[in-house]
Amino acid sequence: MKRLFLPAVLSTIVVLGLAGPAKADSIGTLSLTDCGSGKPGCPVGTYNFDIGATTATLTIKIASGVNSNNNIISAVNLGTNGINLTGLTATGPTGSGTWNANQASINSNSNCALGNGSFMCAVGSVGIANGGTYTWTFSYNSNIALTLMDPGTVHIGANYDPAQGLIVSQNGTPVSTPEPASLTLLGLGLLGVPFLRRKK
């Protein structure tokens, strides 16, 4: 038993030392009952983002408040706190057609023509309804260093049409997403190996 115990303990220490903290994406959320900052006109919705090294998603879940003035989303953007992007492309919700990506922020003309390369932006058109969920996926070649991304500084934007000027433009808030490191769990499992052996 003792001969097995020492190697198991040493293996555990090595594995735990190599495991390190799990690397998570930059994930955040924003729930609004209006266009943000008390500005009326936009539907009630929740905005969730997940920014990874080479892809990012923005999901908008509409709760209520859709009417003939705001039942189209024509542009969305995520601001990445000054990190420039290369090779940016975007796809929109299923069945919504082509979305054109640009490194800029949205404006009231339903396009991506403001700001600079620290924004990932997509222009297109999708009709929305109460209870609907809509997701945009951005792809890029930048290999973003996630350690530089603070979810609280990620800027979320959405342009609602056909009435121009209904824009959500606010920062997200961090979401706690603990990810247990699998190597750590493996190390803990190795610790118990000696106790599985039956006495003879």
Q: What is the pLDDT of residue 45?
A: 98
34, β-bridge pairs: none
CA–CA separation, 139 vs 74, rounded Å? Answer: 19
CA–CA separation, 4 vs 37, rounded Å? Answer: 63
The residue with tokens 């994930």 is: 27
Q: What is the pLDDT of residues 90-132, one digit of tens each?
A: 999 999 999 999 988 888 777 888 766 678 999 999 999 999 9
Q: What is the pLDDT of residue 3?
A: 54
Q: What is the pLDDT of residue 186?
A: 44
For domain 26-174, give the fold: Immunoglobulin-like (2.60.40)
Secondary structure of residue 84 in the 3-state scheme: coil
Tokens of 87: 């090779």
CA–CA separation, 122 vs 134, rounded Å? Answer: 13
Q: What is the pLDDT of residues 126-167, one digit of tens each?
A: 999 999 999 999 999 877 776 667 888 899 999 999 998 899
Domain ranges of the chain: 26-174
Q: What is the pLDDT of residues 5-52, one digit of tens each?
A: 444 443 444 344 444 444 458 899 999 999 999 999 999 999 999 998
**Residues, the chain, total?**
200
Question: Which region among 60-69, 149-158, 170-179 has the lowest average model confidence (pLDDT)?
Answer: 170-179
